[in-house]
């Protein structure tokens, strides 16, 4: 379809000109009469531009061949997921797979599997964005566990928590170091583990409580991750209540005093949070996130 894929090279200039015609016939090996093909080909150079900007500080990407691996994986995924396609930020999710797994096919399938969990983060429309529900949950959490901070943010017109958009969308790749981000991913996905997601033919052992909330049997409950077990006990199993949301809450709590003292507007909040880039301790953030989850579940249960 596009002969460059798999050659160790990649594209950073448009393959389709303003007139709708190919800029270089040798780079396109398929007719452009199909709408899906045309849209895909028009996206490839944008993926290339983002690839060049991805993890630039890492020695791995000093090699054009390694950059091309990332471009290959993202380009093929974009073709397969024509519902959402490619959105900036997917490169941050894909990069660790390309770095850790030498085989390009292995990198692709790990990325594809991760995107089954994360792809809705990248869905946007004129009226909503993919992480909207998570931001709404974050607002509820801070309102309950730290009402003073929530009120201050609300007074600054930051009550919709849009400043946390990037953290949730690309799972803290910009806020934590490369190694700490991977630590966080492994911890989050292990703690959120749900055995039924990976068992296509087995039904979960679920009973109903008097309040009509689903409860997993004690025997099966042990198979779930620690975070997910707490959620199941309270019936709180929605994706927007993922551990990542509580991690953002923990970051806000770390910066609580500074935000209350120095933030006079939304831009100040963004700057304060921007200063944490690669300077957060992942283990401490996780520990604080679990404390916040415990406090939140306790207070909402009483309510």
pLDDT-wise least confident of 71-75, 82-86, 101-105, 241-245: 241-245
What Cα–Cα distance (Å) separates residue 53 from each residue in 58, 89, 90, 95, 117?
11, 11, 12, 11, 24
In a domain, 249, yes or no: yes
Structure tokens at 19: 């007139």
* Rounded average pLDDT over 147-152: 96
The residues, ordered by sequence, that sit 6+ positions from 151 with a Cβ below 8 Å of its Cβ are none
| pLDDT of res. 199 | 45
Same domain, 147 and 215: yes
Same domain, 87 and 187: no
Tally of structural domains, the chain: 2
Cβ 43 vs Cβ 82: under 8 Å: no
Single out the residue in 122, 142, 158 at which a domain terminates: 122
CA distance 185 to 68: 24
pLDDT of residue 210 exceeding 50, the answer is no
Same domain, 82 and 199: no
Token look-up 């087995």 returns 202
CA distance 252 to 183: 20
In a domain, 14, yes or no: no
Range of the domain at 246: 132-302
pLDDT > 70: percent of the chain: 87
Any idea what the CATH number is for the domain that residue 100 is in? 1.10.8.270
In a domain, 6, yes or no: no
| pLDDT of res. 235 | 64
Cβ 244 vs Cβ 192: under 8 Å: no
- The 3-class secondary structure across 78-110, one letter per residue, is HHHCCCCCCCCCHHHHHHHHHHHCCCHHHHHHH
């Amino acid at each position: 379809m596009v002969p460059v894929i798999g050659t160790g090279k990649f594209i950073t200039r448009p393959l389709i000109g303003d007139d709708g015609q190919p800029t270089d016939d040798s780079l396109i090996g398929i007719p452009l009469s199909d709408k899906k093909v045309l849209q895909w080909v028009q996206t490839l150079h944008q993926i290339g531009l983002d690839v060049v900007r991805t993890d630039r500080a890492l020695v791995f990407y000093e090699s054009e061949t390694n950059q091309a691996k990332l471009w290959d994986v993202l380009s093929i995924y974009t073709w397969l997921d024509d519902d959402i396609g490619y959105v900036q930020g997917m490169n941050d999710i894909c990069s660790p797979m390309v770095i850790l797994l030498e085989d390009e096919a292995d990198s692709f399938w790990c990325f594809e599997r991760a995107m089954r969990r994360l792809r809705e983060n990248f869905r946007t429309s004129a009226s909503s964005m993919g992480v909207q529900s998570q931001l709404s949950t974050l607002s509820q959490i801070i309102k309950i566990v730290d009402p003073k901070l929530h009120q201050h943010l609300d007074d600054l017109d930051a009550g919709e928590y849009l400043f946390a958009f990037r953290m949730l969308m690309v799972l803290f790749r910009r806020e934590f170091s490369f190694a700490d981000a991977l630590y966080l991913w492994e911890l989050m996905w292990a703690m959120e583990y749900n055995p039924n997601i990976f068992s296509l033919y087995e039904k979960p052992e679920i009973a109903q409580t008097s309040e009509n909330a689903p409860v997993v049997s004690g025997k099966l409950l042990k198979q779930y991750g620690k975070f997910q077990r707490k959620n199941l006990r309270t019936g709180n199993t929605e994706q927007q209540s993922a551990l990542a949301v509580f991690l953002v809450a923990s970051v806000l709590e770390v910066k609580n005093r500074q935000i209350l003292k120095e933030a006079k507007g939304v831009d100040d909040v963004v700057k304060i949070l921007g200063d944490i880039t690669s300077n957060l301790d992942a283990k401490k953030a996780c520990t604080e996130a679990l404390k916040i989850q415990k406090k939140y579940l306790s207070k909402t249960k009483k309510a």
